[in-house]
């Protein structure tokens, strides 16, 4: 029997648990190194954070829990068995944003360019499934070279599975996509299906086919930025809802956006104590909007004076500027605002404005966010181009969206509300619950000048003083129809209000409509004119 040396502790026996823990730590550190020091360095030099850095910034400090850390690819071709892909190039998990649960999938460009293979896709799909089960938002941070060529059809199948879940959970939990790097080919369709898409200037691109393919097929030469950069999608295509100057701003926008949304379609949006008196009046509104319907003004300033603390989050700010789609709060509760913008094309409705508004209306309706419509619209944009682009079909989307929406709908007519555009901006006929009008409101089939030229054309032409008669007819038409009282007398308007009392009247209406219940005919789904 071995003798113990006096004054020394017994020899340490092998500790199986310590060995297992050491193995766990080694594997964890290996997975967390992602693509390695050089790959991380290149990511930083490109002005981009790593996947885990982005997630940690988005989540409340210390709240993120990563899932499926130890997975690897299962590719068997083109030398894949010899390659390691820590976490298979995507960081998944859950955490909290402002104390509320949020699920996330962040593609890791340092690992095989963030390319999507079978396991990569399964991680994303499992995360989406869990988000839907628990009723929490899902955020995708996209930074990927696309489908993993070495895995062939598995990559394509992976995208299909993601698209299917984007669609299945649409309107169930909020889905947000942030493009923080390249996003090409089939990868672009997941962001297109989600509720909101953000893009980072200069580092983010989205396109179906890249510059090289375009040149070989069509002969056109274009840079990646001009083809599918953040500015292009924020101002021309409309694919981008929020333009961010850098990643810090992008992540801040995600957090701000989630603050306006409920966790799921069965919850109400969060109520925030803003400290702004619901009964606050603003006399400046009477001076801000000119009584002369031909003079422009900034509708954003009207909105700032109405909403809580002047705070608002504008969606698609650079696209179709003639209509504004804004998230804000009234009485501490989220509201979606659709407003004509007189500073841009006099606030007319056109193809892009109709698409922008219809999409926003349906998103708000899906997540129980009431709608406030601020109307100053001269009509639809005339012209051959608009007609041939399908203004009839696109304009019908807005009519469909408003009619389909069952959330509280409040409309305020500030000035012009002419023709079909009056209806399209959520009149009583499309289901507005309450309609208010300022004394400056003009509700008619068309403006006084146009109406007189149609109705009294022959009479004016045969007159000895046509100019004088025309002016007299215009004044008569304006006195009879270019005001809110004729519409109010026919029950198309609930009340004519003073501009300063707009905020308290709208908040009162929203409060009484909080328990609104509206049923529709039973059907599988409607057929929106896409």
Q: Which residues are catalytic?
A: 185-186, 420-421
Give the three-class secondary structure for 346. helix
Could you give the 3-state DSSP secondary structure of residue 391? helix
In DSSP notation, 413-443 reads EEEEEEHHHHHHTT-GGGT-SEEEE-TT-EE
Question: For residue 154, how far is the Cα from the chain centroid?
Answer: 30
Residues 6+ apart with CB under 8 A from 149: 78, 115, 155
User: Strand pairing of 371-377 and 175-179?
Assistant: unpaired
DSSP helix/strand/coil, 91: strand
The closest alpha carbon to 445, from 434, 436, 453, belongs to 453
- Three-class SS of residue 523? coil
Distance (Å, whole) CA 511 – CA 227? 46
In the three-class reduction of DSSP (H, G, I as helix; E, B as strand; rest coil), residue 279 is classed as: coil
Do residues 104 and 93 lie in contact, with contact meaning Cβ atoms separated by under 8 Å?
yes
Collapsing DSSP to helix, strand or coil, 511 comes out as helix
Copy the structure tokens of residue 425: 């901006």
H or E element, residue 334: strand 333-340
Residue 372's H or E segment, with its range, is strand 371-377
Bridge partners, residue 315, by sequence: 325
Pull the structure tokens for residue 124: 């994303």
Count other C-beta atoms under 10 Å from residue 154's C-beta.
Answer: 19
- 441 HSE (CA, 13 A, CB side): 27
* Separation CA 55–CA 59 (nearest Å): 6
Q: Angle between the 153-168 and 118-134 helix axes, to the nearest 10 degrees?
A: 10
Q: Say what angle helices 247-260 and 51-58 make with each other, to 10 degrees.
A: 40
d(CA 30, CA 70): 9
Contacts of 328 (CB under 8 A, 6+ apart): 303, 307, 308, 311, 312, 313, 334, 335, 337
Locate 152 and state its tokens: 């062939």
Q: What angle do CA 229, 234, 239 make, to 5 degrees?
A: 85
């Amino acid at each position: 029997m071995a003798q113990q040396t006096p004054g020394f502790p017994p020899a340490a026996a092998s500790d199986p648990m310590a060995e297992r823990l050491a193995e766990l730590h080694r594997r964890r550190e290996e997975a967390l190194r992602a693509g390695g020091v050089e790959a991380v360095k290149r990511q930083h030099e490109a002005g981009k954070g790593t996947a885990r850095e982005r997630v940690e910034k988005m989540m409340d400090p210390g709240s993120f829990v990563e899932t499926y850390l130890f997975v690897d690819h299962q590719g068997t071709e083109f030398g894949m068995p010899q390659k390691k892909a820590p976490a298979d190039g995507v960081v998944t998990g859950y955490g909290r944003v402002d104390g509320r649960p949020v699920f996330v999938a962040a593609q890791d460009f340092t690992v095989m360019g963030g390319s999507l293979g079978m396991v990569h896709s399964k991680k994303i799909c499992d995360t989406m499934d869990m988000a839907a089960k628990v009723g929490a938002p899902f955020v995708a941070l996209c930074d990927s070279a696309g489908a993993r060529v070495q895995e062939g059809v598995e990559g394509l199948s992976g995208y299909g599975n993601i698209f299917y879940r984007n669609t299945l959970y649409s309107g169930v939990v909020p889905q947000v996509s942030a493009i923080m790097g390249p996003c090409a080919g089939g990868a672009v369709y997941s962001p297109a299906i989600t509720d909101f898409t953000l893009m980072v200037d200069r580092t983010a691109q989205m396109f179906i086919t890249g510059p090289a393919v375009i040149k070989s097929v069509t002969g056109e030469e274009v840079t990646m930025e001009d083809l599918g950069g953040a500015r292009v999608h924020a101002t021309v295509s409309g694919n981008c809802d929020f333009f961010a100057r850098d990643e810090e701003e992008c992540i801040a926008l995600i957090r701000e956006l989630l603050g306006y949304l409920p966790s799921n379609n069965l919850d109400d949006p969060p109520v925030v104590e803003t400290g702004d008196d619901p009964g606050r009046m603003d006399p400046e509104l009477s001076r801000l909007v000119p009584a002369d319907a031909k003079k422009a003004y900034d509708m954003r300033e009207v909105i700032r004076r109405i909403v809580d603390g002047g705070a608002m989050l504008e969606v698609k700010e650079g696209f179709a500027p003639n209509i504004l789609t804004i998230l804000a709060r009234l009485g501490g509760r989220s509201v979606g605002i659709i407003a004509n913008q007189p500073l841009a094309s006099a606030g007319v409705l056109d193809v892009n404005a109709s698409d922008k508004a219809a999409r926003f209306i349906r998103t708000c309706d899906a997540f129980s966010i009431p709608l406030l419509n601020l109307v100053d619209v001269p009509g639809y944009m005339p012209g051959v181009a608009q007609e041939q682009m399908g203004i009839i079909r696109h304009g019908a989307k807005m009519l469909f969206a408003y009619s389909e929406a069952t959330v509280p709908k409040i409309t305020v007519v500030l000035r012009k509300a002419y023709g079909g555009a009056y209806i399209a901006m959520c009149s009583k006929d499309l289901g507005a619950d309450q309609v208010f009008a300022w004394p400056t409101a003009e509700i008619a089939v068309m403006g006084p000048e146009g109406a007189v030229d149609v109705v009294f054309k022959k009479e004016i032409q045969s007159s000895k003083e046509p100019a004088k008669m025309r002016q007299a007819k215009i004044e008569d038409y304006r006195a009879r129809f270019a005001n809110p009282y004729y519409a109010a007398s026919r029950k198309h308007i609930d009340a004519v209000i003073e501009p300063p009392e707009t905020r308290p009247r709208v908040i009162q209406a929203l409060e009484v409509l909080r328990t609104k219940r509206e049923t529709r005919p039973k059907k599988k789904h409607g057929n929106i004119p896409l």
